[in-house]
Chain A
Amino acid sequence: MTALAANAGPSRWWRSRTVRRFTSHHLALLGVAMITLLTLACVFGPHLLPYDSLYIDLRARFSPPLTGHHYLGTDPLGRDVAARLFMAGRTSLLVAFFAMLLSTLIGTLVGVIAGYRGGWIGAALMRTVDGFLSFPSIFLLLALAAALKPSPAMVTVIVAVTSWMEVARIVEAEVRSLREREFVLAGRMLGLSGTHIMFREILPNAMGPIIVASTLTVARAILMEAYISFLGYGIQPPLPSWGNMLEGAQQYLGSAPWLAIIPGAAITIAVTSFNFIGDGLRDALDVRDDHI
């Protein structure tokens, strides 16, 4: 049983080895702290700031950071960058979170079935995974985003559809190694159905790698949404996202560099935090380190 399953019992889970190992991972704690702060800022920030994210302050266009009450400056329309940054954070984090849920769901389903069934079904599924991995993800993302109307929900689906493969590979390998273990054989002897064995017996024991992979998927999804929105094919204005805040920033790079630097820094902080957390979880949950 993995550390996670072993610790699922009712007795003082917070003193378990997993939690102790996670809390001794300084970077992971830093990541949790930063994500918590960022989330709180995105939830409450817009209410605390003097300007609404849509308010157009025509006399204060292109204000650099720290002019008056525009703490992070204003954009070409005179909208407050700080207010937009937090509103954009809501979009970007939500899209990334749901994209992670969906891609983990797809990846886990494919991985469990491929790993448990094996044979030609397994081979066909895993070759499909290889097929998806052969496309540069950005091409696939952009082609799909251009083809389908990019509402926030659609962007979430597109990002998920192009990022479930890692999870599928990890789960498949894990399930394949668990398939011949005694508890699975025992389940078969007892006449449990294949579905029951796959999802009730094997899956809980493969949760460690899935949790780690899904944490890293959030990081990846934030980057993906940012890329396609930056290029104008993702989240559409006026709904702000960290990616589409950067969309017009390049042309003002010389005169208003904060327009490019601030949203990018927010993306970097969020992605770094999730990567730190993923690293800490990997140590804490005893997941073999064959990626980075």
Chain B
Amino acid sequence: MRGFLLNRLSQSLILLLIVSVIGFVVLNLLPGGPLAQFGLDPGMTQDDLDRLKEQLGLNRPLLMQYLDWAWRLLQGDWGHSFRDGAPVLAVIGRHVFATLLLMGTSTAIAIAIGTWIGIRGATHRYSLFDHIATVGAMVALSIPTFWFGLVGIYIFSLRLGWLPAGNMYTIGDGSVLNYLHHLILPSIVLSLVHVAIWSRYMRTATLDAISQDFVKTARAKGLSERRVIMKHVVGNALLPMITLAGVQLPSILTGALVTETVFTWPGMGRLFLDSLGYSDYPVVMGLLMFSAILVILGNLIADIAVAIVDPRIRLG
């Protein structure tokens, strides 16, 4: 286990290094580069900008600049927002919860429904249900999330008036019920694609598990089919799903960001768009790096979780 952990940890660190290089390249692609903030200020002349460039060391070789930038990143100095001067990490921190809440809820929905569809599809292979689930998954994967959100708002908020059309809560009403009421539509919209993905993988994993010897043994022992499926098949089929949850993280995050923009959900996606609109590049860069780190961390945790549950992996 120790060797496995060290191995995975070092892989994640290397990945982090690569991600930071990509981030640095994007930062330098942005109009005006790291100085964009001051270029917008009419009180700054080109001479001032040049002096600032000298002062901040932006005329040094790119490698030196990168090392400096990465070092400050490591120390938690992610710069300050152009908008209110608040530290970037603090600004992001204010929006993380909303995004995680949305992601968590919709992942729970996707896992619950997807697992059920996948198992049923595998145990009733080539049935009408299985065919509908297969085609349905492919269509679900093709529906643009933001458009599905708009259609959802049209039907459930504007036509039926059942659910709010956006925001995380009604101002002046901080009750849990109010939060839940606002959470329903965006989390269902976000979960659609992942129900599809999860159900397809679960179907494959269940079919794999069903054909294993220990399932034949369980059947031979005279266990009821229900018990065989629930205890022996599902348990083993869920194992690879932990890795899938990690692999799907960027896609869930992407989906959450898109959903947020449609539902004016005050999370990182909303923040990203607002910051882009204000040319608030420190926050844009911060979010880019923060989300990548989140994804790397998520994958690491998923891998460790699988290794804990499944000794075959950590023992190689």
A interface residue numbers (CB < 8 A to B): 27, 127-128, 130-140, 142-144, 146-148, 219, 223, 226-227, 230-231, 233, 246, 249-250, 253-254, 257, 260-261, 264, 267-268, 271-272, 274-276, 279, 289, 292
Q: Which residue of A lies closest to B197 (CB)?
A: A292
| 7 additional contacts (CB under 8 A) given A127-B15, A142-B272, A148-B29 | A135-B22, A136-B291, A136-B295, A139-B288, A253-B150, A264-B144, A272-B142
Q: Which residue of A lies closest to B204 (CB)?
A: A289
In the complex, 15 of the A-B residue pairs with CB atoms within 8 angstroms, ordered by the A residue number, are: A27-B135, A131-B15, A135-B288, A139-B257, A142-B272, A143-B276, A143-B288, A144-B29, A147-B31, A226-B146, A261-B151, A267-B144, A271-B143, A276-B138, A292-B200
Q: In the complex, what distance in Å separates the CA atom of A271 from the CA atom of B143?
A: 8
Q: How far does the Cβ of B282 sit from chain A's closest Cβ, in whole Å?
A: 12
- In the assembled complex, which residues on chain B have CB atoms less than 8 Å from the CB atom of A279? 138
Q: Does B56 contact A (CB under 8 A)?
A: no
Tell me the dominant secondary structure on chain A's binding face.
helix
Q: In the complex, what distance in Å separates the CA atom of A147 from the CA atom of B30?
A: 4
Q: How far does the Cβ of B87 sit from chain A's closest Cβ, in whole Å?
A: 20
Q: In the complex, what distance in Å separates the CA atom of A230 from the CA atom of B22?
A: 26
On whether the beta carbons of A267 and B147 are closer than 8 Å, the reply is: yes
In this complex, which of B143, B201, B287 has the most chain A Cβ atoms within 10 angstroms of its Cβ?
B143
- In the assembled complex, which residues on chain A have CB atoms less than 8 Å from the CB atom of B269? 138
In this complex, which of B14, B142, B254, B273 has the most chain A Cβ atoms within 10 angstroms of its Cβ?
B142
Q: Which residue of B lies closest to A257 (CB)?
A: B154
On whether the beta carbons of A142 and B273 are closer than 8 Å, the reply is: yes
B interface residue numbers (CB < 8 A to A): 14-15, 18-19, 21-22, 26, 29-31, 135, 137-139, 141-144, 146-147, 150-151, 153-154, 158, 196-197, 200-201, 204, 250, 253-254, 257-258, 261-262, 269, 272-273, 276, 284-285, 287-288, 291-292, 295-296
On whether the beta carbons of A136 and B254 are closer than 8 Å, the reply is: yes
Q: In the complex, what distance in Å separates the CA atom of A250 from the CA atom of B138?
A: 26
Tell me the dominant secondary structure on chain B's binding face.
helix
Q: How far does the Cβ of B138 sit from chain A's closest Cβ, in whole Å?
A: 5
- In the assembled complex, which residues on chain A have CB atoms less than 8 Å from the CB atom of B292? 131, 134-136
On whether the beta carbons of B144 and A226 are closer than 8 Å, the reply is: yes
Q: How far does the Cβ of B270 sit from chain A's closest Cβ, in whole Å?
A: 11
On whether the beta carbons of A142 and B254 are closer than 8 Å, the reply is: no
Q: In the complex, what distance in Å separates the CA atom of A137 from the CA atom of B272?
A: 13
- In the assembled complex, which residues on chain A have CB atoms less than 8 Å from the CB atom of B22? 128, 131-132, 135
Q: In the complex, what distance in Å separates the CA atom of A157 from the CA atom of B31?
A: 18
Checking A137, A146, A267 against B250 with a beta-carbon cut-off of 8 angstroms, the contacting residue is A137
Checking A135, A254, A271, A289 against B142 with a beta-carbon cut-off of 8 angstroms, the contacting residue is A271
Q: How far does the Cβ of B8 sit from chain A's closest Cβ, in whole Å?
A: 13
